[in-house]
A = this chain, B = another copy of it.
Amino acid sequence: MIREDVAAGLGKKKCDAAVVGGELVNVLTGEIYKADVAIKGTKIVYVGDVSNYMGSKTKVIDAKGKHLIPGLIDGHVHPESSLLSMTRFAETVLPSGTTSIMSSLDEYATVSGLSVIRYFLDEANKTPLKIFLVVPSRVPYVPWADTVGGYIGYKEVAKALSWPESVGIWEATVDLVMKPDLELLKSIGETIKRKQTVHGHAPMITGSLLAGYLAAGIRSDHESFSKEEALEKLRSGLKVMLRDGSVIKQVSTLIGFIKENKAIDTRGVSVITDDVDVEELVSGHMNSLVKRVVAEGIDPVKAVQMASLNTAEAYRVDHLVGSIAPGKIADIVLTSDFKDFKADAVIANGKLVAKNGKLLARLKPPARPRKIVQTMRLNRKITPELLEIRAKNPKALKARVISMQVPPEAPIRFRREAELDVKGGVVKPDTSSDVIYIATVERYGKTNNIGKAFISGFGLKDGALASSMAHDNHNIVVMGANTRDMAVAVNHVAKVGGAQVAVRGGKVVDELRLPLCGIASDLPAEKLLERVQSLNKTAQSFGSGIKRPFMFLIFIPLAAIPEYAVTDQGFFDVKAQKFINPVIEETF
């Protein structure tokens, strides 16, 4: 193997492809200069004058007038958040120049545990997109608040760390480190012992708390919320990943510390998306993000480093990816505009896979086994009554209400209170003051739990919306102006094995099926997008003033971000880390 690689590097066999006439963006030195690239198999064999490597069968890829940048890397992304299956995600991001992602596939693992990670890794390995596995440090991430289908603790982490795709563990949350969760600490120790990397999750953590967190051996973090926080983390030795996805857009804020000190060493800075939806993905992925960084006034070569070399170094895979150099995997993007970063051609694993934003050969998702498409274990029919919030006698009461930021820029919830009527022991939603029901229905056949609460901010006047893609537990989250539509929505989602639905007047009026673990679809991106847009439009016809209500609905069960969440176990106060009653007082 090494022997053949050496022979290819020496040029003893003619190369398969040569990228000729372009300007090389050498992220290793920060230089740009004319250089051609010879490719043999999956690897770059030579960079420079490649004429000696070319033969009659060498495919010539014309790069005249174009810059060659390394295949782009998303250093922290949940591809599941796009609702696209693994193959469809690969198909969607490759044409924009993303050739590697770091991911844990933890959304799938939440539903079905470690075996499903292996399943989707195997699927990814059949596409030109590389996944470097960053093993979920813990599933569920908030074990005391969620009922989920899969479980990952130390034993599972240790197993996954031995897989060849593994580069470490991720989302080692500051809460669990501090608790301390001994299972997690063992996993961190194991990761470091194996010379892999520990990727953290420490939102708004600075000062002593950050120092304590770093002492655990955390290497990187993607949860900065201010430029000061990002700078402090970088100074403290964290590899800092600036997030700019569909849910949270922070680059223009966080990049501030670099804008203010252009001389700062940015080797420890990457850009990542975390969660990105199909609507954005169809027009670009990491290339759009690099474009946004450059638009902020950052040197384009440094911006490219943030989506290539720096990310590869953060996960210690810079010997494989992240630069265009002999011996590296041949992942190369040709772009004619060094500000726009539109990908004119994309080479992944040595093969030209996309031109002008189009994949050269469509990928085909595999036939899906039962373990992937039959993950719904709802044991009973949900009745409207099960979704009601009940109170004993009074006519009205005060309630705690989850209040979305409007317009939502991040899925962060604030606290609100509201007075609600009680009729026949049932606390009534009040669409006039924008207070409706929200519930999370356990769907793994383990507890039959239903957590219930009130929410405002979505603006629904009628009907119900439900989704079985629901962070971080993927139970069925449902929101509605009435419990009848809510019940219909939940039962339909369960019946079809996973979906997002809009129900009105007791009827399913719009839906997107999510058969893969109840959270993802094999629809091609454009078809999926059509469904997503239709569903959001339908939700707007129910009164919602939010552009993409489903995008925010699916984060309501997430117990890891402030202030309130609704898990299957109830209404959760994130700061207090306990379950509380949505009803404050029963009698006025």
Contacts and interface: CB of A to CB of B under 8 A. Distances in A.
Nearest to A195: B195
A209 B316 CA distance: 26
A194 interface: yes
B180 A215 contact: no
Interface stretch (A104-112, A262-270, A389-397): A262-270
Contacts of A235: 26, 28-29, 31, 47, 325
A208 B10 contact: yes
Contacts of A8: 212, 215
Copies in the complex: 2
Contact of A196 (B195, B265, B326): B195
B319 A217 contact: yes
A107 to B, nearest CB: 27
Interface stretch (A185-193, A345-353, A399-407): A185-193
Question: Max chain B CB contacts within 10 Å: which of A30, A45, A211, A305?
Answer: A211
A180 B217 contact: no
B327 A189 contact: no
B217 A327 contact: yes
B7 A212 contact: yes
Contacts of A316: 195, 316
Contacts of A261: 31
Nearest to A323: B237
B217 A3 contact: no
Given A10-B212, A319-B217, A327-B217, A237 B28 contact: yes
A71 to B, nearest CB: 15
Contacts of A263: 30
Interface residues of A, number: 66
B211 A178 contact: no
Given A237-B325, A316-B195, A326-B237, A215 B43 contact: yes
A264 to B, nearest CB: 5
A284 interface: no
B5 A264 contact: no
Question: Max chain B CB contacts within 10 Å: which of A28, A29, A46, A231?
Answer: A29
A188 B182 CA distance: 36
A210 interface: yes
A327 B214 contact: yes
A2 interface: yes
Interface string A239-268: 000000000000000000000010111011
Interface string A1-29: 11101111111000000000000001111
23 contacts: A1-B189, A2-B216, A3-B180, A6-B177, A6-B180, A9-B208, A9-B214, A10-B178, A10-B211, A10-B212, A26-B235, A27-B265, A28-B234, A28-B235, A28-B268, A45-B211, A45-B215, A47-B235, A52-B208, A215-B327, A236-B325, A237-B323, A237-B328
The 10 closest A-B pairs by CB, nearest first: A9-B215, A237-B325, A10-B212, A9-B212, A30-B265, A211-B326, A214-B327, A5-B215, A195-B195, A9-B211
Given A9-B216, A28-B237, A52-B208, 18 more contacts: A3-B182, A5-B217, A6-B213, A9-B213, A10-B211, A10-B215, A11-B208, A28-B235, A31-B235, A47-B236, A211-B326, A214-B327, A219-B319, A235-B325, A236-B325, A236-B326, A237-B327, A267-B267
